[in-house]
């Protein structure tokens, strides 16, 4: 099984390359804990999706310390890796989105795989749940998404983007990408699609971009990216080709089914600079409990 880590974003709200912000007592990054958990649950290959200009720093700071434990590969999310028909219409510099990032790995992944964000701490149980699905799944067009309770994914420092999941009989109906914020005990979601705002309970299931796929997703991404560019050819500086939107479309078209596998794992993330201290403190708590060594790779 392969773990595909999306690390091409620069973390604009955090103010830097937050994927390599130390959070562990020996300089460990959030990515280190994700890879460590993935190895424990049976993953044997990791692929980093990065910007080409970040290759040296990623290899030096992350790759070299994990490559003796797991096979490591790198792919680059390049701005000009779009349909030729539309290349002359844009000088865009920011990444095209998670769907475009995953598509960059199509030539080196031929096995079941999970995808995660580089700057999210997912927790061991989340990797256990997605690994169990990937091992058991026998259907080419059957995927999975790990579901978290929304109350366990919020920050008091501002709004966050979350994929609010509509679920029926443990199967995904759709994902509503939204800005979410809790104020005075009320959690309000503002869809990025400009649909009306709505409130949710603390138990609402949300996606944190942890999916389990078969290689068939690459075929669908190849098809969908052409539709995406045609639809957004007059808005190429702002539009994003996002995995949650693509998966929702595929479910609606009855091309795939997506199981929702819920986890009680602790989720942590750094959206704002003020979130960093909370992440460090919670990881230290897990170390104190014995879930991780204080020196992760040199026990």
Question: Predicted confidence band at 86 (pLDDT cuts at 50, 70, 90)?
Answer: confident
Residue 20: its pLDDT value, please? 62
The pLDDT of residue 299 is 59
The predicted model gives 149-168 an average pLDDT of 90
More confident residue, 218 or 64: 218
Residue 87 is predicted with a pLDDT of: 79
- Is the pLDDT at 282 greater than 70, yes or no? yes
Domain boundaries, the chain: 2-289
Work out the mean pLDDT of the chain and round it to a whole number.
90
Q: What is the pLDDT of residue 12?
A: 44
Strand runs labelled E in the chain: 2-6, 45-50, 71-76, 113-117, 120-121, 142-149, 160-168, 171-183, 186-191, 198-200, 205-213, 257-262, 268-269
The proportion of the chain whose per-residue pLDDT surpasses 70, expressed as a percent, equals 96
Instruction: Quote the CA–CA distance of 101 and 116 in Å, as a whole number.
Output: 11
Residue 189: strand pairing partners: 180, 198
- Stretch 280-290: mean pLDDT: 95
Percentage of the chain exceeding pLDDT 90? 65
* Residue pLDDT, tens place only, 49-71: 988 888 888 888 888 889 999 99
Question: Higher pLDDT residue, 8 or 245?
Answer: 245
pLDDT in tens, 181-202: 998 889 999 998 888 999 999 9
- Identify the band that residue 9 occupies on the pLDDT scale cut at 50, 70 and 90: low
Buried b (16+ CB within 10 A) or exposed e, 165-183: bebeeeebebbbbbebbbe
The answer to whether domain 2-289 has CATH 1.10.3720.10 is no
pLDDT digit string, tens, across residues 103-115: 999 999 999 999 9
Look at residue 243 in the predicted model and tell me its pLDDT: 94
d(CA 44, CA 27): 23
Helix (H) or strand (E) holding 30: helix 30-40
For residue 11, the model assigns a pLDDT of 44
CA gap 46, 76 in Å, rounded: 14
Q: Supply the pLDDT for residue 204.
A: 94
Residue 19 pLDDT exceeds 50: yes
Is the model more confident about 146 or about 29? 146
Would the pLDDT of 84 be above 90?
A: no
pTM (2 decimals)?
0.91
Q: Predicted confidence band at 152 (pLDDT cuts at 50, 70, 90)?
A: confident
């Amino acid at each position: 099984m392969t773990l595909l880590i999306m690390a091409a974003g620069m973390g604009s709200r955090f103010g830097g390359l937050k994927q390599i912000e130390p959070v562990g007592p020996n300089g460990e990054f959030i990515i280190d804990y994700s890879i460590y958990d993935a190895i424990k649950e049976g993953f044997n290959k990791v692929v980093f999706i990065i910007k080409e200009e970040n290759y040296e720093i990623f290899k030096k700071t992350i790759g070299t310390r994990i490559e003796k434990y797991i096979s490591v590969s790198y792919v680059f999310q390049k701005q000009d890796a779009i349909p030729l028909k539309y290349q002359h219409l844009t000088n865009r510099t920011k990444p095209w989105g998670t769907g475009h990032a995953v598509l960059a790995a199509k030539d080196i992944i031929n096995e079941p795989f999970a995808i995660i964000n580089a700057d999210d701490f997912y927790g061991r149980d989340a990797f256990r749940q997605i690994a169990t699905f990937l091992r058991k799944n026998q259907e080419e067009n059957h995927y999975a998404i790990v579901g978290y309770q929304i109350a366990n994914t919020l920050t008091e420092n501002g709004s966050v983007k979350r994929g609010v999941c509509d679920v029926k009989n443990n199967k995904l109906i759709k994902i509503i990408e939204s800005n979410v914020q809790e104020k005075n005990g009320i959690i309000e979601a503002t869809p990025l699609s400009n649909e009306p705002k709505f409130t949710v309970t603390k138990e609402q299931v949300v996606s944190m971009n942890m999916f389990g796929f078969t290689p068939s997703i690459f075929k669908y991404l190849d098809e969908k990216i052409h539709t995406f560019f045609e639809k957004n050819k007059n808005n190429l500086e702002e539009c994003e080709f996002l995995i949650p939107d693509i998966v929702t479309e595929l479910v609606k078209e009855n091309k795939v089914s997506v199981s929702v596998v819920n986890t009680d794992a602790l989720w942590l993330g750094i959206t704002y600079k003020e979130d960093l201290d909370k992440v460090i403190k919670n990881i230290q708590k897990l170390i104190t409990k014995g879930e991780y060594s204080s020196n992760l790779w040199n026990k």
